[in-house]
Amino acid sequence: MNYANLLTVVDNGILTITINRPDRLNALNKKTIEELSIVLKNAEGDDEVKAIIITGSGQKAFVAGADISEFANYTAEQGKALSAKGHVQLFDLVQNLAKPVIAAINGFALGGGLELAMACHIRIASDNAKMGLPEVSLGVIPGYGGTQRLAQLVGKGKAFEMIMTADMITTEDAYKWGLINHITTQENLLAKCTEMATKIISLSPSAIASAIRAVNANFQNGVNGFEVEIEEFGKCFATQDFKEGTSAFLEKRKPGFTGK
């Protein structure tokens, strides 16, 4: 399928999605959010896709935020609706996808761009990247989950600092604070993400989907994550992957997981 603002390629089970609006520093306009939502939903149901990498086109930006030109004249109601729709359409979808999603942060990840990266399960950044939530400099707050996911990743104090100062931080600080998992060079970024995705997809897809649900449960209001873990742990015993994984271990051979 062809997309106006995305490039997609599937190779060895890994779908790489490149957000492709380089003249706008890959800013997330409505169309791009819509297309990301479609491609991710399709990927979830596509047996050929086992992991997903999201990156930005060009050398400069992952995503420089939501597209400011689209919402500059919005009313309070329109602003609320924009945020609510975005959560469901894209950011919660990414977080809860049953397949691993890695953000390859190749440059500026600001506002909605950092929020997209934070919704991903894993973040790897190139050493030129800059990250921040500059919304208060525009008179607004992060509205695609940033106030929640940033605090979950870096703690409340650092989250307040980043949000209140609107400052961009370097990859070194992002790494020290736990915002990103790894730093690499820009040239090596996709290779590093692919290497990690390849490792993950050699393991049990059904167990990984369970792990995503259990870890995410910790951050859902009114949900007891320990109970979800117990449920998901139990469900694993009914999978072919569990039979295969344990048999392969006992038979001293490599497992061949199917995700069933």
Active site residues: 115, 135
Q: Which string of x and - marks every residue 98-127 that binds ligand COA (by CB under 6 A)?
A: ----------x-xxx---------------
**Nearest residue (CB) to ligand COA, 24 versus 87:** 24
Number of residues that bind ligand COA (CB under 6 A): 16
DSSP assignment of 73-92, as one string? T--HHHHHHHHHHHIIIIIH
Residue 83's nearest CA partner among 147, 168, 11, 26 is: 147
Measure Cα distances from 13 to 9, 10, 21, 198 in Å.
10, 6, 25, 8
CA distance linking residue 36 with residue 30, whole number of Å: 10
**Near ligand COA by CB under 6 A: residue from 15, 17, 19, 27:** 27
Q: How far is the CB of 32 from ligand COA (least distance, A)?
A: 11
Query: In this complex, which beta carbon is closest to ligand COA, that of residue 168 or of residue 189?
Result: 168
Spatial separation of the C-alpha atoms in residues 97 and 99, rounded to whole Å: 5
Our finding on whether 24 is near ligand COA (CB under 6 A) is yes
Least Å from the CB of residue 117 to ligand COA? 13
Name the minimum Å distance from CB 135 to ligand COA.
5
β-strands 101-105, 51-56 pairing: parallel
How large is the greatest C-alpha to C-alpha distance in the chain, in angstroms? Answer: 65
Instruction: Map the footprint of ligand COA across residues 61-90, applying CB under 6 A.
Output: 64-69
Q: Rule CB under 6 A: is residue 209 a binding residue for ligand COA?
A: no
144 touches ligand COA (CB under 6 A): no
Q: Which one, 21 or 192, has the nearer CB to ligand COA? A: 21
Cα 194 vs. chain centroid, distance in angstroms? 15
Q: Which stretch, 38-46, 58-66, 78-86, 146-154, contacts ligand COA (CB under 6 A)?
A: 58-66
Question: Environment class of residue 164 by beta-carbon count within 10 Å: exposed (0-12), middle (13-18) or buried (19+)?
Answer: exposed
Helix 240-250 crosses helix 205-217 at what angle (to 10 degrees)? Answer: 120
Contact residues: ligand COA, CB under 6 A: 24-25, 27, 64-69, 108, 110-112, 134-135, 138
